[in-house]
Amino acid sequence: MKPRRTQAQTEPRSRDADRSQLAILASARDEFSQRGLAGARMDSIAERAGLNKRLIYYYFGSKDDLFLAVLEGTYASIRQAEQRLHLEDVEPVEAIRRLVSFTWHYYLEHPEFITLLNSENLHRAVHLKRSERIQEMNSPLIELLDDVLDRGRRSGVFRDGIDPVQLYISIASLCYFYLSNNDTLSTIFGRDLRTPKAMAQRLSHMTDLVLGYALR
């Protein structure tokens, strides 16, 4: 009944089938991120993918299952990108600096990350909670950050007792909220927060904040 298979599997499979599934996932990601879960239309997703609507059900079962598939892909992407930073090979202060900068630019270049997570949180993470892969995908990040903090503490540059989860959340907070709420903030304060200058100021401000806290 469920024709969808994870990439890990190695059994032979049609090229077309692969291409169709990826096309659906890509267009679903765009549609969900632009209109939210309730606002997304299965018709639009099919049209964006250039495929028949029935095929979505064939591969993904339902709108909610498709949404979960999109979420998993989204988390996989950012965690893979973080791995590519190789923070374990970088001096601690520089590692933090890079993590802030990376997070900022990743959110900037992947606005769908923000809106998809907002949608999932509106639904109290019901989809993610059904996922079997999600925790194992995210734990390496915290281990990595813990290692950075540990190295910094031992070399005397970082203060004691920094919780890597709290710190990661704070870094994410500062980047995420500025971008996710940019439209309302710009409107209520009557000030365009998307100008190149404002954006540069923001990155500098965030780095100051985080390092001002971490450094002993």
Partner DNA sequence: CATGAATGAGGTTTCATTCAT
Partner DNA sequence: GATGAATGAAACCTCATTCAT
List of residues contacting a second copy (CB under 8 A):
1, 35-39, 47, 75, 115, 117-122, 124-125, 128-129, 134-135, 137-139, 142, 163, 165-166, 169-170, 172-174, 176-178, 180-191, 201-202, 205-206, 208-210, 212-213
Contact indicator for 81, 102 with CB cutoff of 8 Å: yes
CA distance 151 to 99: 15
By CB under 7 A, name the one of 26, 30, 36, 42 that touches DNA.
42
**Contact track, DNA, 49-88, x by CB under 7 A:** --xxxxx-xx---xxx------------------------
Piece in contact with DNA (CB under 7 A), picked from 15-23, 71-79, 134-142, 174-182:
15-23
CB of 37 to DNA, least distance (A): 9
CA distance 216 to 214: 6
202 within 8 A of 186, measured Cβ to Cβ: no
> Residue 73 has which token pair?
């892909």
Give 57 or 106: the residue with its C-beta nearer to DNA: 57
Q: Is 91 an interacting residue with respect to DNA (CB under 7 A)? A: no
The owner of tokens 């994410």 is: 172
Number of DSSP helices (H) and strands (E) in the chain, helices first: 11, 0
**In the bound complex, what is the minimum distance in angstroms from residue 9's beta carbon to a second copy?**
20
What's the rounded Cα separation, in Å, for the pair 143 and 150?
A: 10
Question: What is the rounded distance in angstroms from the CA atom of residue 56 to the CA atom of residue 66?
Answer: 8
Nearer Cβ to DNA, position 49 or 148? 49
Per partner kind, with CB cut-offs from 5 to 8 A, the member of DNA, a second copy, none near residue 212 is a second copy
When binding is defined by CB under 7 A, the residue of 13, 129, 159, 205 that contacts DNA is 13
158 SS3 class: strand
Nearest distance in Å: CB 160, DNA: 51
Between helix 92-109 and helix 63-83 the angle, nearest 10°, is 150
Helix (H, G, I), strand (E, B) or coil at 160: coil
- Number of shown-chain residues binding DNA (CB under 7 A): 21
Interface contacts to DNA, rule CB under 7 A: 3, 13-14, 16-17, 19-20, 40-43, 51-55, 57-58, 62-64
